[in-house]
Amino acid sequence: MDLAGKKIILGVTGSIAVYKAVHLLRLMVREGADVQVVMTPAALQFVAPVTFSAISGKPALSEFFRAEGGDWNSHVEMGIAADLMLVAPVTATTLGKMAHGIADNLLVATYLSARCPVILAPAMDTDMYLHPSTRENVRILTGYGNHILEPAEGALASGLEGRGRMQEPEEIVRHIMEFGEASSKKKLLNKKVLVTAGPTHESIDPVRYIGNHSTGRMGYALAGAFASAGAEVILVSGPVALEIRHPGVSLIRVTSAAEMYDACREVIGEMDVAVFNAAVSDYTPAERSPSKVKRGEEEWNIRLRPTVDIAASLGNQKKEGQFFAGFALETDDEMKHAAEKLRRKNMDLIVLNSLRHEGAGFGTETNRVTTIDRAGNVIDFGLKPKQQVAADLVEHITKMIDDA
């Protein structure tokens, strides 16, 4: 993105990293950006508004109404007019308010009014950033289509070492420029993408089911990444405790493998790309008890029958021009089994997860994947946050489609 003439809202919150925001503002102004600084009340305790005003050439705002004259600082007008909103640094408090729509200050109200891309650069102590409540707020905000610049490792204000440092201003500006360039290209614009996510639950009786440990995080991250690349995404999700509110994603919720297959089969003919990420049950009870099975016998034998292999069934009906990718979670002979699935399911790409790698697989915030294509090319993407893994995979798939 060429920043010249771009209207950017720079949100500043109450963090010791606020000093970096001053340099960040200077860099954006130097590139020709028209920057409006909006501060939270807590940010005022770290730096005076005049510091930002002197660099931006316009008053830094922090209140809904101006002290002199009582004029309204319209968060609606600012949000609608902006080409980009950047909040750097963003604290745990502001992340929580943004995630849950608590518009008790001008910055959050402006965020809720914004129609432009939003980039968030967190800054806080390691334990705060890794706390489940903060991780949940980050997940919610990412699901809304916001972009998170993961904090860096290093010395923290607490005196500890760890993850939580706001990225350096130069890195943030570089990211903005690259983000804008990628957004303007939107290589998947008007492409239709199907993503499956989460587990399936195969009912035994009204109380019990056969399932697995999939959380759906990887699939939801993929759906958001495809939508951010311009695609129209249909996300077929098994039962998970996740939401996605990206305007480019249509969510279809299902429970069983049969329901997931029916939902996918109904739309697959219209899709340009399909990514089968869901951890679909391989077996389902042959019979379902209409009432809860009571404790009694020492043994309870449940007869199972195979479910439809969704990726294989649809993969073998793939039309010319469609691109299909499948996921494989293996515990032994990973490469051998993944390559066999690539062939048997008629996929263009297999994404291999290995439970041997710490931090990968089910129930984690991170993942490590290896891709295998029809030509035998193998790429290891390393251990990364699942949002970044999703972005890498979307970029890789886009390149494969372009090169085909």
Say whether 377 is catalytic.
Answer: no
Q: Which of 73, 105, 212, 301 is catalytic?
A: 212
Dist CA 361 CA 358 (whole Å):
8
Measure the CA–CA gap between 85 and 141, rounded to whole angstroms. 14
CB-based contact 269:324 (threshold 8 Å): no
Tokens 């499956």: give the residue. Answer: 196
* Bridge partners for 163 per DSSP: 153
Domains of the chain, with CATH numbers? Answer: 7-185 (3.40.50.1950), 192-403 (3.40.50.10300)
The per-residue pLDDT for 105 is: 96
DSSP 365: S
What's the confidence (pLDDT) of residue 367?
A: 86
3-state class (DSSP) for residue 370: strand
Output the pLDDT for position 331. 78
Beta bridge partners, 11, equal 38, 87
- pLDDT per residue rounded down to tens, the chain (404 residues): 688 899 999 999 999 999 999 999 999 999 999 999 999 999 999 999 999 999 999 999 999 987 676 678 889 899 999 999 999 999 999 999 999 999 999 999 999 999 888 999 999 999 999 999 999 999 888 878 888 999 988 888 888 888 889 999 999 999 888 776 555 556 788 899 999 999 999 999 999 999 999 999 999 999 988 988 889 999 999 999 988 877 789 999 999 999 999 999 999 999 999 999 999 999 999 999 999 988 876 788 999 999 999 999 999 999 999 999 999 988 788 899 999 999 999 999 999 987 777 766 676 778 889 999 999 999 998 888 888 889 899 999 999 998 87
Q: What pLDDT shows up at residue 140?
A: 87
Strand ordering across the sheet containing 366-373: 249-253, 232-237, 192-197, 273-276, 323-330, 349-354, 366-373, 378-385
Predicted confidence at residue 351, as pLDDT, reads 97
Cβ contact 292:206 at 8 Å? yes
Per-residue pLDDT at 69: 64
The confidence score (pLDDT) of residue 182 equals 56
- Residue 362's contacts (CB-CB under 8 Å, 6 or more residues apart) are 212, 213, 214, 215, 279
What b-and-e string marks burial along 17-36, b requiring 16 or more CB atoms within 10 Å of the CB? bbebbbebbebbbebebbbb
In contact, 201 and 209? CB cutoff 8 Å: yes
Q: How many CB atoms lie within 10 A of CB 232?
A: 18
Question: Contact at 8 Å (CB) between 88 and 24?
Answer: yes
- Structure token digits, residue 322: 């469609």
CB count within 10 Å of CB 45 equals 10
Phi, psi of 197 (to 5 degrees): -150, 160
Per-residue model confidence (pLDDT) at position 360: 66
Task: Report the Cα–Cα distance between both ends of the chain, in Å, rounded.
Answer: 28
pLDDT score for 237: 98
